[in-house]
Amino acid sequence: MPMLLWAGGFTIERVVPSKRAASPPLGRARCGWVPAGDGEYARYHDEEWGRPVREDRRLFEMLTLEGAQAGLSWSTILRKRAAYRKAFAGFDPAKVARFDARRRAALLQDSGIVRNRLKIDSTVSNARAFLAVQREFGSFSRYLWDWVGGRPVRNGWRTRSRVPARSELSDRISRDLKKRGFRFVGSTITYAYLQAVGVVNDHTAGCYLYQARRAAARVARKASRS
């Protein structure tokens, strides 16, 4: 879940955010970290969080946003997301990796993003590390999903209070990312990242998406026996 709220079982390879005109139904039972009545938060939960992402640019986007969130609420980052996309070249890691000192200094004046020098500098160095992973593995997606054999870890937590802030998996990936030169990738941030991009599915039992996942699994088991 998003941190403050630290911000899948679904075979969706790439999620394209919906038009703002279509508001999600706010009466649905969702994970406990979604604020009641917040349509933008609900949309993020319904359409993105926990759904498997395998497209590299989006993986870099979420890695950047999760790092930017450190010490802040996810709602702060969510509302700055469009500005981040503009500031960081649509999250194209090849372009971000070329940001020089002048470009980074200009970003410190951009009120649309979190104006933190360490976070801005780390986004640029992370882009370079991201490109190195792509060269080694063919794609960052392959690197990331190899940690779980290509299949999401589907947890079955009953309540929000049972969802961990980190795990053995996030510990291992965090250590490896740090060795590769990534920053703002501590285990807690890494676990939030794994949740966000669907490597780990942590929708809790009372959430309608958890129930949909269980219903789909029952249908699949029934079909396999017939």
Is residue 112 within 8 Å of 86, Cβ to Cβ?
yes
Query: Which one of the listed residues 6, 66, 191, 210 is annotated catalytic?
Result: 66
Query: Which one of the listed residues 49, 74, 143, 191 is annotated catalytic?
Result: 74
* Secondary structure (3-state) at 110: coil
Query: Which one of the listed residues 44, 49, 143, 210 is annotated catalytic?
Result: 44
Query: Which pair of tokens denotes residue 176?
Result: 């490896």
Q: Let me know if 143 is a catalytic residue.
A: no
* Secondary structure (3-state) at 3: strand
Any long-range contacts for 17-23 (C-beta under 8 Å, 24+ apart)? 17/43, 17/47, 17/48, 18/43, 18/47
Q: Let me know if 74 is a catalytic residue.
A: yes
CA distance 127 to 115: 18
CA distance 5 to 64: 17
Active-site residue numbers?
44, 66, 74
